[in-house]
Amino acid sequence: MKVIAVLPAYNEAAVISDVIARLNAFVDRVVVVDDGSSDSTGDLAKRAGAFVVRHLINRGQGAALETGTRLALDFGADVIIHFDADGQHDSKDIAAMIAPITERQMDVVLGSRFLGKAVSLPIGRRLILHLGILFTCFFSGLKLTDVHNGFRAFSRAAAMQISLTHDGMAHASEILDIIADKNLRYVEVPVTIHYTAYSLGRGQGSGNAVQIVWRLLINKFF
- Residue 84, φ and ψ in degrees, nearest 5: -75, 150
User: What are the DSSP calls for 79-101, one per residue?
Assistant: EEEE--TTS-B-GGGHHHHHHHH
For the residues 31-49, what does the mean pLDDT come to? 98
pLDDT tens-digit readout, 165-194 = 988 777 888 999 999 999 999 999 999 988
Return d(Cα 130, Cα 133) in angstroms, integer. Answer: 5
H-run or E-run covering 219: helix 206-221
Determine the pLDDT at residue 114: 87
pLDDT band at residue 219 using 50, 70 and 90 as cut-offs: low
Determine the pLDDT at residue 206: 47
Return d(Cα 136, Cα 122) in angstroms, integer. Answer: 21
User: Is the pLDDT score of 69 beyond 90?
Assistant: yes
Higher pLDDT, 134 or 190: 190
For the residues 42-63, what does the mean pLDDT come to? 98
pLDDT band at residue 120 using 50, 70 and 90 as cut-offs: low
Determine the pLDDT at residue 62: 95
Determine the pLDDT at residue 95: 98
Return d(Cα 2, Cα 192) in angstroms, integer. Answer: 24
Return d(Cα 172, Cα 29) in angstroms, integer. Answer: 23
Domain that holds residue 147: 3-221
User: Is the pLDDT score of 205 beyond 50?
Assistant: no
The SS3 assignment for 190 reads strand
User: Does the CA dihedral 57-111-92-74 come out positive or negative?
Assistant: negative
CATH number at residue 132: 3.90.550.10
pLDDT band at residue 1 using 50, 70 and 90 as cut-offs: very high
For the residues 115-132, what does the mean pLDDT come to? 67
Indicate the average pLDDT of the chain: 88
For the residues 66-82, what does the mean pLDDT come to? 98
The total domain count for the chain is 1
Determine the pLDDT at residue 84: 97
